[in-house]
Structures are given as C-alpha cells and as structure tokens.
Chain A
C-alpha cells in the first residue's frame, strides 16, 4: 500500500457521489455528552491554535493533484509552529493532515535527508496564495515577512480529492506551490477560493511585492531540481514485542 496509489482498494465507501464521511448524523445524546465533557475539560492545546491560513498544497508524488487547505496554526515558540490541516473552514471539515513550520535557523540544523521532506513558503506567500481569511492586510503584513522565510513539512492523512470518503491508505507527503510550471496552482482552484472569501490573489500578490525574497535552502523543494517526488509505503513487518500481540 502506498500514498501514491491511484485509488484505494474497492470499498462501498470509496465510490459514488455520497457524503463524506459515511455514517449516521450525530445524535442528540452524543451532542449532549460532548457538551458536558467540553464543560469539564479544558482542551488547552487546542486553544493554542490562533491563526487560520487558507492556502494550497500539491501531492509530493503527483504535483498535478492540488488541494485547497485550511491550516489552524498553533505556535510552540518563535521558531516552531504546528498546524491541524482541514479541507474547509466549516465545522464538519475533514481533518486531512498536519503541517509543521520552522524558522530557517532550525531548518539548517536538520540532517540533509530530513531537509528534503520540507518545502519553502516564500512563493506561496508572495504570490498571494497564502491568506489569513478575515485579517486586515496591515495586521498580517509584519508577520508575513517572517513566515515567508519559513519551511514546512506537511503530511496528508486523508486524500479527499481522490474521492476517499474515509481516511484510507498511507499518509502522503505534500509540497508547496513553486514558481515553475509544474508548481503553479490551477487557476480554477484559486478562483474558487477567491470567490469564497471575496478576495483577489492577484491584488494580494501586488501588495506583497515589497516582502523580501528570502534565500531558499538548496535542499528544500527537492522535486524542483531533481524531478523526483516522494511516496510513503506501508508494509507488513514483524513487530518487536514485549508481550503477545494481538
């Protein structure tokens, strides 16, 4: 099984124009239980997510597969961010993956083999593809220059664009849009996003012209220079045990 599989194995839940995911609507008693638990539990880590970013990502094994993503970003410190990534900004959005974002200073400390899995954000931000919906430009501008220098590592666990109604298959590495032919986001995807938020990616690009172009580390965006992407395989293996399993 590989993240690059075209389609997961046949299953009643992977085909047809039916809602994703399958299943019964949430019952009232579940909602009440949830509400009650929510009152008694503090959910602190989740409250640390203080930014919503809407942007685009490309599958590392097939750059023609592109998705609009919604990152809910939490900060661990000035150099490290962690994001829960969803396929929309609605309450019932599907959780499709996790992205980590680090400063150039930390990126440089990574081993070379690790660096290849990370992507740069400079083009994504300068081109206007990366937006903070609802935030006035003057507020977001100062931090965007910092963000533009960062590197991201994004794992996708639910290939909704493939038609998967449940999270199937191996996790997939994602890359960021890049200023080369294969790295550009399809205009229809951008247009749909812009219409939804009543923004113009083009105008944002113009307003971000003065954001400094950072120097991108040669090992980031590996595919651009090497014409090689990455896939993740899941294989049976012997489990080291300290007790019988299962």
Chain B
C-alpha cells in the first residue's frame, strides 16, 4: 500500500531532519533587506515567550505544510517573488496559506494564498475566476515543491495540488526592496508555461534547497491537471489584473449610527 511505503520514508527522514534544519538556517532569500527597527528588548521577548506558552494557537497549529513556489505580479510578470507557503487544510477541498519571503525565523509575512479544488473553482462567479490561477504547470514543471519532504511523499500531495486553483494576494513588495509593507494589496499570478521563470531566480532556489526542477519534472510526468482543463477565465482571464485604491464617502464620524439610537 502506498501509505505503508511512505511510512518507511518518514522513518528514514526523521533521521535527516536535524541536518535539514541546519541547512535551512542558511536559506536566506537573495533580496533580503533588513526590516527597520530596534532589536527586540528582553522584557518584550520574555513576555512573548510566556504568552506563547500560555495561550492557545489552534488556527496556527492547523498549519502543517511548507510549500515553496514562485509568484509574479498580475500586472507585471517581470517582477517575480520566491514564495514560501505555510498551509493548512480547512477541509479536503480548501486550504489556506500564509506566505513568507523565506523559511527562516525572521521571515517576513508577505501574503496569503487560498487553494481550492476544481469543483469549487467552477462555482466561483465569472468575475472572480480571473483572480485565481491554475497550479498544473508549476507542479508538473517541478517548480512547486515541499522542502525537506522526500519526492515520493511529496508527489502524493502534489497529485491533488496539480488539479487545484489558487488565489494569491501579496501585501509587502519585498522584490522592490520595500522596508515595510507599503501600498495596496497586489493580486499575484503563477507560472503557466516554460520561459516565464527568471533563470537566475530558478538556479538560486535550486541551489539553496538542493532540488532540481528538471529532475522533478521527470518524476511528475504522470500527474494530471484539472479534469476539465484549465479554465479560460483563470490566470487573469489570460490578460492581467491590477488593484487601485479609491476614496469613498462615508457618514460623518460624529453622526449617530441607527443601532445606538
């Protein structure tokens, strides 16, 4: 049974965990900019160690998986970002991920991704579908991977991910060197065909994580994308998207809302 085979891989891998973790501490993204501000004070750190122990973190504890992939801006493919997803299942068909710019302790939280199965994607309104992107190419292409997880186990999950659609919003434009999360949210897209991913970024990630996208491609030949093919409205409906901020009129701050009257 596939699961039993995977079990032996788990055991072998437990032994590899320590060395993997050491390697990970050297995995700084190349465009790392220091976040402005003073180092954390002892008192603050102590308090947070305490709250970290006392309080409940159930939603965070639901996050069980680290996926690395690449995003680019829905209005600009030339701006590409290495995206570390930390994902949890809401149910079998929906996942939600926190996106960081590295797998390290000091990683910046730069965005969010939601992942849904094809059947749910198809229920989305037509004006919503363009904000979502397909995963087939980046999975089959080998570009989306789970650092530290052996290929055979990884592929069990990637088999599902290959058929899903994702919605990614970034808040911190680290690729342009922003020291803080400036500006408005950005809708992001993912790789959909060869030639899109910047070669330097690709090589850098392959080197730092000890992976080969080409090798992964070979191993993932039997994975298949959405059963109904990639929807024409997905991936920004084949064009592009941008976000804009707009001021809106609201009732004066001092006027009394009905509910209090």
- Residues of A at the B interface (CB closer than 8 Å) are 1-2, 4, 8-14, 21-27, 29-30, 32-52, 61-64, 70, 72, 74-80, 82-84, 86, 88-95, 97-98, 100, 102-103, 106, 109-110, 114, 117, 132-135, 139-140, 142-143, 146, 153, 155, 157-158, 166-171, 178, 180-184, 186, 223-225, 227-246
Contact of A244 among B86, B114, B193 (CB under 8 A): B193
Contact of A52 among B36, B56, B160, B247 (CB under 8 A): B56
Q: Are A63 and B171 in contact (CB under 8 A)?
A: no
Chain A residues within an 8 Å CB radius of B237: 236
Given contacts A45-B109, A74-B109, A77-B35, contact A168 B193 (CB under 8 A): no
CB of B106 to closest CB in A, whole Å: 7
Chain B residues within an 8 Å CB radius of A22: 93-94, 120, 123
Q: Are B180 and A100 in contact (CB under 8 A)?
A: yes
Chain A residues within an 8 Å CB radius of B58: 89-91, 93
A225 to B252 alpha-carbon distance, docked (Å): 8
B238-252 interface code vs A (CB 8 A; 1 in, 0 out): 111111111111111
- Residues of B at the A interface (CB closer than 8 Å) are 3, 6, 10, 13-14, 16-17, 20-21, 24, 35-41, 43-44, 47-52, 54-66, 74-78, 84, 86, 89-94, 96, 98, 100, 102-109, 111-112, 114, 116-117, 120, 123-128, 130-131, 134, 146-150, 153, 156-157, 160, 167, 169, 171-172, 180-185, 187, 189, 192-196, 198, 230, 234-257, 259-260
Q: Are B36 and A224 in contact (CB under 8 A)?
A: no
Q: Are B17 and A40 in contact (CB under 8 A)?
A: yes
Q: Are B92 and A110 in contact (CB under 8 A)?
A: no
Q: Are A135 and B253 in contact (CB under 8 A)?
A: no
Contact of B128 among A79, A142, A169, A236 (CB under 8 A): A169
Q: Which 7 A-B pairs have the closest CB atoms?
A: A9-B125, A239-B240, A23-B93, A79-B37, A50-B52, A34-B64, A243-B195
A/B pair count, beta carbons within 8 Å: 402
A225 to B16 alpha-carbon distance, docked (Å): 58
A79 to B196 alpha-carbon distance, docked (Å): 37
Most chain B CB inside 10 Å of its own CB: which residue of A42, A43, A229:
A42
CB of B49 to closest CB in A, whole Å: 7
Contact of B3 among A32, A50, A102, A153 (CB under 8 A): A32
Q: Are B93 and A100 in contact (CB under 8 A)?
A: no
Q: Are B92 and A44 in contact (CB under 8 A)?
A: no
Q: Are A235 and B48 in contact (CB under 8 A)?
A: no
Given contacts A37-B149, A235-B244, A236-B240, contact A134 B94 (CB under 8 A): no
Most chain B CB inside 10 Å of its own CB: which residue of A135, A234, A238:
A234
Given contacts A106-B37, A155-B171, A240-B78, contact A232 B56 (CB under 8 A): no
A204 to B260 alpha-carbon distance, docked (Å): 22
B98 and chain A: residue at smallest CB distance: A84
Q: Are B248 and A167 in contact (CB under 8 A)?
A: no
Given contacts A26-B89, A239-B77, contact A106 B36 (CB under 8 A): yes
Given contacts A75-B48, A109-B36, contact A46 B86 (CB under 8 A): yes
B61 and chain A: residue at smallest CB distance: A91
Q: Are A91 and B86 in contact (CB under 8 A)?
A: no
Q: Are B108 and A76 in contact (CB under 8 A)?
A: yes
Q: Are A238 and B75 in contact (CB under 8 A)?
A: yes
14 further interface pairs, Cβ-Cβ under 8 Å (given A110-B180, A181-B257) = A23-B90, A30-B160, A35-B64, A40-B150, A45-B105, A52-B56, A78-B39, A135-B51, A143-B43, A157-B112, A223-B253, A233-B245, A236-B241, A239-B74
A233 to B146 alpha-carbon distance, docked (Å): 33
A38 to B167 alpha-carbon distance, docked (Å): 23
